[in-house]
Amino acid sequence: MGNKKYIDTRGYYSRMNYVSNIFNLSLRNQALEFFESLIILVLGWWGINKISKILLVFLNKSNIDTSIISFLSSCSKFCLRVILIAIVMSKIGFDMTSILAAIGASFIAIGISLKESLSNFVSGIVLVVTKPIHIGDTIEFDGHSGTVMKIEMLFTTLQTQEADKTVIIPNNRLVSNSILRKKSSHNILRYDIQKTLPENISNKDIIKSLQREFLINNKICEFPAPEFEIQSQSELNNKQLHITVWYKEMYSNEIADEMEKIVNKISYKLTQDS
């Protein structure tokens, strides 16, 4: 009988299993990193929207011009989203040094090809710094007449008298051409309101509650500050509250209803609490 030769395959299969395990582990790690990056992107995008809304509230209550607020809001949101995308790409495994170098080299070509957009961007900065127009102004430009609704990075939006029609104008055209401003909404106007409240409500609670409401309301100016005058009428078992606030002319059609709503809300809440 001839000698039979046996091939030992245990080492071969052991190496194959080792390679397979490494490959599967690599796939799991990549899937985990992708899933984590997706979560970062979704939560980051949601967070940027929330931050933008909070920033808008504080900017609206500041003494900054409304047109600058609109411009800063769109710029900040864009920058935050670019940073978020860079973080996500780095998390996935992209070499950010190479990407940033490529982006830097590409800016020259992009600048040449998008010189019109860059011109609009620079013109947007000129508009918010020099303030020839404000949000809420009624203007006439190039045969179009309307109210300035937004001044953003590249374009300015006009709302025409027809509710369903808007005009979008490149910022560089507004800077380099004549604008007819028919009406300015940048004037600050005064509004007074009186309200009768029960005698047992604390004056301190009334003022504190109203100040809190005015702080988060973008229709009411923070400067000049709202004024309060409370006169007690003990014989009638009530007190007279007199409030003076200042608002921008663009809110003239809304301020009466807005103040009535705020005062009624505070009056009802404090009456219930007392």
CATH fold of the domain at 22-113: Helix Hairpins (1.10.287)
Mean pLDDT of 100-123: 68
DSSP state at residue 232: E
- Name the band, by pLDDT with cuts 50, 70 and 90, for residue 273: confident
Beta bridge partners of 246: 190
pLDDT tens-digit series, residues 167-194: 888 888 888 888 887 766 567 788 999 9
Residues 213/222, Cβ–Cβ less than 8 Å: no
pLDDT tens-digit series, residues 19-67: 565 555 566 667 777 788 888 888 988 988 888 888 777 776 655 556 6
Task: Say which CATH class 125-183 falls into.
Answer: mainly beta
Residues 228/207, Cβ–Cβ less than 8 Å: yes
Start-to-end CA distance of the chain, whole Å, equals 111
What is the side-by-side strand order in the sheet with 180-183?
A: 166-170, 155-159, 144-151, 138-141, 180-183
Task: Report residue 174 as tokens.
Answer: 């507004």
The pLDDT assigned to 65 comes to 59
pTM above 0.85, yes or no: no
Beta bridge partners of 239: 197, 232
CA distance 140 to 182: 7
AA letter at 36: E
More confident residue, 252 or 104: 252
Of residues 137, 138, 128, 135, the one with CA closest to residue 171: 128
AA letter at 188: I
CA distance 210 to 155: 37
Residue intervals in the chain for CATH 2.30.30.60:
125-183
Residue intervals in the chain for CATH 1.10.287.1260:
22-113
Q: Answer yes or no: CATH 3.40.50.620 is held by domain 188-273.
A: no
CB hemisphere CA count around 216 (13 angstroms):
7
